[in-house]
């Protein structure tokens, strides 16, 4: 009877040891997964910040270019209004300024 009890104790001890190793492995795996998810989230946040910064840069360049183009058009219109040219030439130059095709 005592031998059987000892064998059961040993079997239970081995089972407990295996169980504890499995729990440790599961916890380690869980920590690794959490860390991988955290790194991925940080990378996505960094990429989103970079994208937002790039969008802002593009918008700023667009606004500056648009302002420059508007200023150029304004100057061309002022010159056109102060020049002594015929109406056909005025039409052609206005079409050029505003990017409109005029058929003859």
- Return d(Cα 73, Cα 78) in angstroms, integer: 9
How many domains does the chain contain in total? 1
- Full domain range(s) for residue 26: 2-98
pLDDT along the chain (104 residues), means of 10: 86 95 96 97 98 97 93 79 71 74 66
| Residue 104 domain-assigned (yes or no) | no
| Residue 47 domain-assigned (yes or no) | yes
* Residue 93 burial (10 A CB sphere; 0-12, 13-18, 19+): middle
- Return d(Cα 5, Cα 11) in angstroms, integer: 10
| Residue 103 domain-assigned (yes or no) | no
pTM: 0.55
Q: What is the pLDDT of residue 11?
A: 93
Q: What is the pLDDT of residue 104?
A: 58
| Residue 90 domain-assigned (yes or no) | yes
Q: What is the pLDDT of residue 85?
A: 66
């Amino acid at each position: 009877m005592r031998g059987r009890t000892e064998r059961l104790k040993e079997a239970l001890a081995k089972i407990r040891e295996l169980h504890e190793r499995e729990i440790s492995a599961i916890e380690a795996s869980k920590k690794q997964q959490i860390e991988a998810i955290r790194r991925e989230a940080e990378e996505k946040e960094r990429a989103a910040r970079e994208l937002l910064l790039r969008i802002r840069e593009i918008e700023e360049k667009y606004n500056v270019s648009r302002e420059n183009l508007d200023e150029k058009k304004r100057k061309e219109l002022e010159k056109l209004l102060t020049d002594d040219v015929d109406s056909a030439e005025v039409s052609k130059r206005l079409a050029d300024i505003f990017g409109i095709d005029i058929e003859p």
